[in-house]
Amino acid sequence: MEHRELLAQAVKAAEMSYSKYSGFSVGAALLTAEGVIFKGCNIENASFSLTNCAERTAVFKAVSEGYTKFSAIAIAGSGDGDFSKPCYPCGACLQVLSEFCGDDLVIVLADGEYRLSDFLPKRFCEDSMK
């Protein structure tokens, strides 16, 4: 899977965004180790704190289907239909991704490719509780 194609899938996922309050649509395309893509979008709620990001939507969909190993995630966000600017993942999503992914998870954004460790070099994880 070309990472450029994965980013295109993230933009497509943003079409399903339920973002009636912010008007900011986000899509994510999560690539499993098996080559399966799970797409997610942001889902807002009138009780704002219940809003779920696109990245976590994609992760939860994948895990609920039995996939727990991921190699890349593409993220695209826009408030006006222009997805050319990068949409960086929030801290909550990085933490959720880190539960299932190592430092080498590729994060594909409009401005290039990153690794999970670029955004979250130190994190709370299973080893933190030992």
Smallest separation, CB 63 to Zn ion (Å):
16
What is the binding site for Zn ion (CB under 5 A)? 53, 90, 93
Which helix (H) or strand (E) is 74 found in, with range? Answer: strand 70-78
Task: Give the three-state DSSP class for 36.
Answer: coil
Smallest separation, CB 130 to Zn ion (Å):
27
Smallest separation, CB 93 to Zn ion (Å):
3
55 is catalytic: yes
Q: Burial of 26 by CB count in 10 Å (0-12 exposed, 13-18 middle, 19+ buried)? A: buried
Backbone angles phi, psi at 106, to 5 degrees: -85, 130
Q: Is the CB of 37 or the CB of 87 nearer to Zn ion?
A: 87
Which helix (H) or strand (E) is 10 found in, with range? Answer: helix 3-14
Which listed residue (55, 99, 113, 126) is catalytic? Answer: 55
Alpha helices in 15-121 (DSSP H): 54-64, 91-100, 116-119
Q: Is the CB of 6 or the CB of 75 nearer to Zn ion?
A: 75
Residue 101 is assigned to a ligand binding site: no
Residue nearest to Zn ion (CB): 53
Point out the residues that are catalytic.
55
Binding-site residue ranges for Zn(2+)? 53, 90, 93
